[in-house]
Structure 1
Amino acid sequence: ARHLTRQGFRQILLVAGEHPKFVSRDYLAQCVRALAPNFSSVSIEVGPMETEDYVAIVEAGAEGLVVYQETYNRGVYAEMHTAGPKRDFNFRLDCAERGYAAGFRRLGIGALIGLSPWRDEVITLAAHLEHLFKHCWQAQITVSLPRLRPAAGGFRPLFSMTDRELAQLVCALRITFPQLGIVLSTRERGSLRDSLALIGVTMMSAGSHTEPGGYTRQGREHLHRTVRGRVVAPEYQDGEDQLATGQFEISDERSPAEIAAVLRRRGLETVWKDWDRALCGA
């Protein structure tokens, strides 16, 4: 966290696995309380929870909730989630509204582009957005459009989406939902991100690492895997670096300062902080 603060970040997203034994309400609240003094905005991206669980995390200082439906195709969703709490499609779908009821002021949703035909996916995503704008009208709504990339475990996307189609989607969302925040991650290459920032993207990650401990290489002695709720030691091949595995491959490896400089040269303002608790009397 101190490393990210030194780079200029004032907004942070806590991402964790979805096993409730290891990522509990109390654990998340403890993490948020530790980070809140140094970040004006703390968001979480974890497994869906009940409203009362979210309340405790909001009271600890979190103000943003991100949850991807992953796919709005119920058949594909059932194929991808064969067991466990994550199999409940409706519980995940209603997550943003439960978060809103708990007090989150920033709600982020999205679909993983590549699990089903992208046009079918985003039409349903747009319907979800319209619903949230009507029923969670006091929250800032954002959407993320991650195109699936080769990931840990050897998973490959089932359907493709071209750069031109991604640009078309960004334009369509910007026209349809002028107030919508559109997020683009470092999954995409730098030149494409620079261009999409000019036509509709409002928030981008920078200098990202998708593996635990990736920013500073600290905590290596605590690396582990979980198998059916049990903690087990990681397995390494001979000569392999003993580091955590990244969740997915990064395409834009530029530093935050480099990305900020490019945006300024293109006439855009780089905003590191867009919220403070003092705005609501906190």
Structure 2
Amino acid sequence: MVDPLRKSFLDVARLRELSRRTAPTEREVLRILEKARALNRLSVEETAALLCVDSPEMIRALLDAAGYAKETIYGRRMVLFAPLYIGNTCSNSCLYCAFRKENTRLRRAVLTADQIRTEAEMLLREGHKRIVMLCGESSDNDLDHFLSAIRTVYATRVGKNAIRRINVEIAPLDVAGFRRLKEAKIGTYICFQETYDPDLYAAYHPSGPKADYLNRLMVMDRAMEGGIDDVGLGVLFGLGDYRFEVLALMEHALHLEETFGCGPHTVSVPRIEPAEGTPFTEHIPYAVSDDAFRKIIAVIRLAMPYTGIILSTRESEGLRNELFRYGVSQISAGSRTNPGAYADAASECSGSQFSLGDHRSLDEVIGTLIDQEFIPSFCTGCYRKGRVGRDFMDLAKPGLIQRFCMPNGLFTFQEYLEDFASPAVRTKGKKLIGRLVEAAHEEQRPKIVDNLRLIESGERDVYF
């Protein structure tokens, strides 16, 4: 049960001290990387050492180790999704967010059921099967409205296609609220702490429900008590010292594993981006350079090897293409961050939460993934087969999850090529599938080939 005294599980003073340690020696780094390449969890102290690496040679070794760990566990698959904003009204005053209540320049909107259905249809016509649904925190976007939106999206069909998994990012709930989310058949519940530093948190959240640091810190405990199997952590890099934030993320993950037997399913790594009517974003207090960002992603991959790392379209096209190799396992594509924008990309009916760095379409992103020989995956097989939470981790840790990730990724990729891909992407995508099938495990290959043929003949939603 969640501690009724609402005590923090973080030792903030210790994490601050660890984040200020000196750079490790080359010998120390190589020892830690050897342990990481064996896919053993790193200690907080070892993670702190890697975060302080400053030698170009050791940073290169760190990035290579992260790429190795990701491919060893998940193979070449890259999961794709899109965000669906159903409202941007908010009662909070978060200084860094365009949705903050004081922002009078932002055009506000809360989507109706018909508008939500239209947004879902547009995403389906692009080829999406997985979304994350989110909104601001206000009475207009309460839990009842959110649950109704989930039902609307799950009921939406375009031909043979439907949204198969809705992950959600909604303001902290009580345990009873999370039980209702569980009944709605959500996927992962995502909630960013934004910053784990309690002093900075108070400064950046002067008013509104979100100003309660401990309520937000303990939300994942309540979610897991309410039956949510998969949870997703995250911080907004730029609000505090990135070394401290990564160490706090790791402590949070350890707390969940010790308390519930399973850590987070995903970790998100957004950086602050410019936002309309939000002067704070013009002077980022702890700006994270591209070099530091590469290191952050690699260290998280090595420190929490079995946790998915989510990279959003906040980042530029070039940097995203590079970061795919260093441990990222899930990416958004073709994103819009203002309500109603999929139906009308030029619409001015509502304002965006932040600026995007990667404006490519889903098809363009998939084309790049093919060029890098990744498997663009819309797979939801584990979710529907019950391979979630602790069961997922039990398969991931011995390296068995690839038996499902690779073929299921291929099946959803084949669906995309048949139904949505441009001619050029379809041609090179089918060539990649052919090469991957030839390289597949001999025992699995016949079944993979049979299912790919089923999809070519019109069958959909095939998975192991």
**Correspondence for 1:209:** 336
Correspondence for 2:302: 175
Aligned to 1:249: 355
SS at match of 1:103: coil
Q: Superposition pairs for residues 1-282 of structure 1, below 5 Å?
A: 1-19=120-138, 21-37=139-155, 38-138=162-262, 141-154=265-278, 155-156=280-281, 157-217=284-344, 242-275=348-381, 278-280=384-386
Larger mean CA deviation between 29-38 and 191-200 belongs to 29-38
Q: Aligned equivalents of 2:137 and 2:362: distance in 1? A: 28
1:138 positional shift: 4.6
Q: CA separation of 1:139/1:165 partners in 2, compared to 1, >3 Å: closer, same or farther?
A: closer
- Match for 1:4: what amino acid? L
Tell me how far apart the structure 2 counterparts of residues 71 and 114 of structure 1 sit (CA, whole Å): 9
Structure 2 CA distance for aligned equivalents of residues 113 and 278 of structure 1 = 33
Indicate the residue corresponding to 1:234 in structure 2: none
8 Å CA contact retained: 1:42, 1:62: yes
Q: Which runs of 5+ in 1 are unaligned?
A: 221-240
Letter in 1 for 2:371: R
Using the aligned pairs only, state the percent identity.
31
Following superposition, the deviation at residue 277 of structure 1 comes to 5.4
Q: CA 1:123–1:138 in 2, change beyond 3 Å: closer, same or farther? A: closer
RMSD of equivalent CA atoms: 2.0
- The one-letter code of the counterpart of 1:33 is R
Q: Any conservation in 1 of the 2:256–2:262 contact (CA below 8 Å)?
A: no
Aligned amino acid, residue 6 of structure 1? R
- Structure 1 position 109, deviation (Å): 1.1
One-letter amino acid matched to 1:74:
P
- 1:233 maps to none
Alpha-carbon separation, structure 1, partners of 2:200 and 2:259: 27
Per-residue displacement from partner, 1:234-256 (whole Å, max 9, x unpaired)? xxxxxxx7432211110100111
Shift of 1:262: 0.8
Partner SS for 2:231: strand
Q: Distance in 2 between matches of 1:43 and 1:278?
A: 13
| Secondary structure, aligned partner of 1:270 | strand
- How far residue 94 of structure 1 moved from its aligned partner, in angstroms, is 1.1
State the one-letter code of the partner of 1:249: S
Q: 1:274 to 1:135 in 2, by over 3 A?
A: farther
The structure with the largest helix share of the pair is 2
Q: Is the 8 A contact 1:187 1:251 kept in 2?
A: yes
Structure-2 separation of matches of 1:139 and 1:114: 24
The 1-side partners of 2:269 and 2:367 are apart by 24
Partner of 2:426: none
Relative distance call for 1:36 and 1:275 in structure 2 (3 A) is farther
Between the aligned partners of 1:34 and 1:105, the Cα distance in structure 2 is 23
Residues 43-66 of structure 1: CA distance to partner in whole angstroms, max 9, x if unpaired? 111111101011112212212211
SS for the counterpart of 2:206 is: coil
Note if contact 2:256-2:264 (Cα within 8 Å) is conserved in structure 1.
Answer: no
> What is the CA-CA distance between 1:89 and the residue it aligns to?
0.7
* Higher Rg of the two aligned structures: 2
Structure 1 or 2: more strand by fraction: 1
Map Cα deviations across residues 94-131 of structure 1 (whole Å, 9 max, x no partner).
11121122222321111111111211222112211222
Higher RCO structure (Cα 8 Å, ≥6 apart): 2
Letter in 2 for 1:89: Y
Amino acid at match of 2:359: E
Q: How many residues are aligned here?
A: 259
Distance in 2 between residues matched to 1:46 and 1:153, nearest whole Å? 23
Q: How far apart, in 1, do the equivalents of 2:262 and 2:253 lie?
A: 14
Aligned-pair CA distance for 1:278:
3.9
Q: Which amino acid aligns with 1:203?
A: Q
What is the distance in 2 between the residues matched to 1:200 and 1:133?
Answer: 21
Report the AA paired with residue 171 of structure 1.
A
Structure 2's unaligned 5+ residue stretches are 1-119, 156-161, 388-464
Contact 1:28 1:57 (8 Å CA) reproduced? no
